[in-house]
């Protein structure tokens, strides 16, 4: 029987895993959840300013703060309590960052956390079931889609629409394919429109990771633009064949690297690293010279306010 309303939660830290709640099929995980808070929303900070001549206050800014998750759960199996106790103590190591993956009634998302505190709940009997109380903090409050979306803006589209036989050299080919044999070659075309559509179904803008690769030859000053907004990122570098330029627009750790070396100082001073807006986005890439030599991969993960 498939459940309509359920929480299936997994905590992972330093290679160890604890599972809580129930799956969609009704399977009971090792811990039963007795209380959970913080999945729906995180802290919100509203900054206001006062004016002596105006009633009330004026909103100066809004900021989504950290997410705090509180969890209370009971181990379903009361056998081998001593062994389970040590396993749980080892799991909650504050030196490591963990991840929480939650499936709530069919929606599945993930968030990273830092341990704020935990303890075993008081038991009425020495040999009773172990219960835990856990508090974690998520400095980055947004839940993530479990999939990273990627798209090559200059991809090759393979095109074969009728019986076709390709051989390395001209050779005798049995009927009826004799007239269709050609020397080995790639059959397809490259997309050179330089414009691609990327949807963002998240609740807030999503950072973008752009990978420029000089796949077919040199290229000068690669650039990518968010169409219709005037926002763009241009890097003043000369790329040789095989070079890889990575641009990450995440405000927490913006990166521009050429072959693994930091070249952030090479960014065009008019550039503004942008994120994908909520809804429909159209991106255009180019370069001062030889843009057709580039492969341009775009990666992003939608972000959500809660689950």
C-alpha to C-alpha distance for 205 and 43, rounded to whole angstroms: 18
Q: Which of 175-179, 186-190, 252-256, 276-280 has the highest mean pLDDT?
A: 276-280
pLDDT at 187 over 50: no
Give me the mean pLDDT over the 181-197 stretch: 58
Give me the mean pLDDT over the 78-103 stretch: 93
Look at residue 76 in the predicted model and tell me its pLDDT. 92
DSSP notation for 178-225:
GGGEEES---EEE----EEEEEE-SSB-B--EEEEEE-SS-EEEEEEE
Q: What is the mean pLDDT of the chain?
A: 87
Give me the mean pLDDT over the 205-226 stretch: 94
Residue 45 vs residue 100, higher pLDDT: 100
What does the DSSP 8-state code read for residue 151? E
The percent of residues above 90 in pLDDT, for the chain, comes to 70
Give 7-141's CATH code, choosing from 2.20.25.10, 2.40.30.200, 3.40.470.10, 2.30.140.10: 2.40.30.200
C-alpha to C-alpha distance for 62 and 256, rounded to whole angstroms: 29
Look at residue 245 in the predicted model and tell me its pLDDT. 97
- Residue 1's pLDDT band (boundaries 50, 70, 90)? low
C-alpha to C-alpha distance for 8 and 104, rounded to whole angstroms: 6
What distance separates the 2 farthest-apart alpha carbons in the chain? Answer: 94
In the block, which residue shows the tokens 């559509």? 197
Look at residue 53 in the predicted model and tell me its pLDDT. 83
Q: Convert the pLDDT of each residue in 144-169 to its tens digit.
A: 988 778 777 765 444 443 444 444 45
Look at residue 127 in the predicted model and tell me its pLDDT. 65
Look at residue 184 in the predicted model and tell me its pLDDT. 47
pLDDT at 172 over 80: no
Look at residue 51 in the predicted model and tell me its pLDDT. 85
In the block, which residue shows the tokens 């990166």? 255
Look at residue 189 in the predicted model and tell me its pLDDT. 47
Q: Output the pTM of the full model.
A: 0.80
Residue 175 vs residue 246, higher pLDDT: 246
Give me the mean pLDDT over the 188-216 stretch: 84
Q: Which residues contact 13 (CB under 8 A, 6 or more apart)?
A: 91, 92, 93, 96, 97, 98, 99, 115
Q: What CATH architecture applies to the domain 149-155+191-304?
A: Sandwich (2.60)
Look at residue 162 in the predicted model and tell me its pLDDT. 40
Domain parsing of the chain, residue ranges: 7-141, 149-155+191-304
Look at residue 125 in the predicted model and tell me its pLDDT. 61
pLDDT at 293 over 80: yes
């Amino acid at each position: 029987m498939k459940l309509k309303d359920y929480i299936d939660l997994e905590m992972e830290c330093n290679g160890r895993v604890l599972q809580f709640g129930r799956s969609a099929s009704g399977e009971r995980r090792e811990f039963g959840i007795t209380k959970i808070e913080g999945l729906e929303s995180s802290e919100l900070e509203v900054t206001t300013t006062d004016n002596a001549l105006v009633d009330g206050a004026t909103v100066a800014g809004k900021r989504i703060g950290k997410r705090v998750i509180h969890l209370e759960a009971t181990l379903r199996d009361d056998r081998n309590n001593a062994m389970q106790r040590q396993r749980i103590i080892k799991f909650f190591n504050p030196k490591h960052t963990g991840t929480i993956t939650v499936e709530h009634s069919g929606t599945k998302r993930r968030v990273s956390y830092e341990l704020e505190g935990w303890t075993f709940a008081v038991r009425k009997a020495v040999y009773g079931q172990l219960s835990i109380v856990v508090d974690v903090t998520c400095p980055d409050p947004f839940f993530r889609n479990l999939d990273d979306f990627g798209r090559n803006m200059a991809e090759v589209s393979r095109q074969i629409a009728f019986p076709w036989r390709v051989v390395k050299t001209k050779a005798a080919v049995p009927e009826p394919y004799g007239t269709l044999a050609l020397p080995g070659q790639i059959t397809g075309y490259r997309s050179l429109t330089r414009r691609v559509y990327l949807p963002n179904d998240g609740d807030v803008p999503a950072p973008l990771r752009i990978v420029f690769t000089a796949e077919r030859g040199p290229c000068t000053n690669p650039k990518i633009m968010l169409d219709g907004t005037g926002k763009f990122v241009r890097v003043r570098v000369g790329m040789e064949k095989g070079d890889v330029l990575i641009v990450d627009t995440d405000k927490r750790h913006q990166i521009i690297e050429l072959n693994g070396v930091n070249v952030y100082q090479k960014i065009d001073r008019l550039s503004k690293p942008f994120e994908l807006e909520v809804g429909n986005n159209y991106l255009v890439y180019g370069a001062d010279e030889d843009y057709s030599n580039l492969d341009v991969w775009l990666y992003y993960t939608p972000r959500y306010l809660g689950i």
